[in-house]
Amino acid sequence: MKKILVTGGLGYIGAHTVVELVNHGYEPVIVDDLSNTSLNVLDGIQAITGQAITFYQNDVRDLNAITKILRDNQIEAVIHFAAFKAVGESVQQPLKYYDNNIGGLVNLLKAMQTTQVKNIVFSSSCTVYGEPDVSPVNESSPIKKANSPYGNTKQIGEEILADCQFLNTVALRYFNPIGAHKSALIGELPLGVPNNLVPYITQTAAGIREKLTVFGQDYNTKDGTCVRDYIHVTDLAIAHVKSLDYIKNHPDNKFEVYNIGTGNGMTVLEILQAFEQVNDLKLNYSIGPRRAGDVEKVWADASKAKNILGWTAQLDLNEMVRSAWAWQQNLPKNAI
């Protein structure tokens, strides 16, 4: 198994995964509609890997295009990232999320079935656990009602994949990826105003945003702010490579899920403080009201990934916030 289609491969996690695929001997083919990224990311990937990467600008909802790409490139497996991912926006625009995240997945699977590609690694999320009763959560923890349409699209996506018996699926339930590649040539750069914490931190530190708002300080946590399991994006990228290796060695696997996190819960304020300390600067931030769709606290039990995939997180919080700031500083001033 060598040629891998990466949908959303110019996105934040997708780009880092493409780099790790090349590093581990796979041949990635990227499909991205550029709805939340730019072609500059391809330049960064190619600069890091020293290789030309095949790229198609297409929407995964275009059945004919995706079918042709799978067939023409003799694709053997798919890593499916292409999806909208902003929790708050999904509450405001649920149909946008169902159309893209569910419609895109169904369309991709139709194309895979037509071309007899049966191996897929799915970008799922810890949001499938909803508001958990206890943390850490493991893969047997209850799947509760999602707190947002975004989270619901990931729940539904997993159900669709489990129902498709022709597939050999690994679904990775990500926790909160942050940081950037050690080269500072690729990192998290959403178009417009960021919805995720760390790019908002780095843009505030760079003077692009006036200040950062922390959404809520009245949660039942150590400092009143939400708790998440923050993981370096490079560690997350490597988890996809480990998943492909597993699929290759277990061709009759039907559907497996794995938590991908560090196992450590950190509050929003702890992330802000670590960023300030490691990078020796002060952030302008204030406390605002809670944000719709946010879960109070969730972090991972990732022992299943360690025991079966042979994967564990290697990079610590200091490296996460250091690399995120190095990436921001390396950006041209007009990149936002």
CA angle at residue 254 from 251 to 255, to 5 degrees? 125
CA angle at residue 149 from 232 to 100, to 5 degrees? 80
CA angle at residue 171 from 169 to 176, to 5 degrees? 160
Instruction: Provide the angle, in degrees to the nearest 10, between the axes of the packed helices 103-115 and 149-163.
Output: 20
**And the tokens for 108?**
């991709």
What is the C-alpha separation between 242 and 246, in angstroms, rounded? 6
Render the burial of 176-204: b for 16+ CB within 10 Å, e for the rest: bbbbbbeebbbbbbbeeebbbbbbbbbbb
Instruction: Give the up-direction half-sphere exposure of residue 27: CA atoms within 13 A in the CB hemisphere.
Output: 9
Residue 150 annotated as catalytic: yes
Task: Give 168's strand partners.
Answer: 119
What is the C-alpha separation between 16 and 180, in angstroms, rounded? 8
Between the CA of residue 132 and those of 197, 262, 299, what are the distances in Å?
21, 17, 10
Catalytic, out of 26, 150, 174, 258: 150
**And the tokens for 43?**
């330049």
SS3 293: coil
Catalytic positions are 150
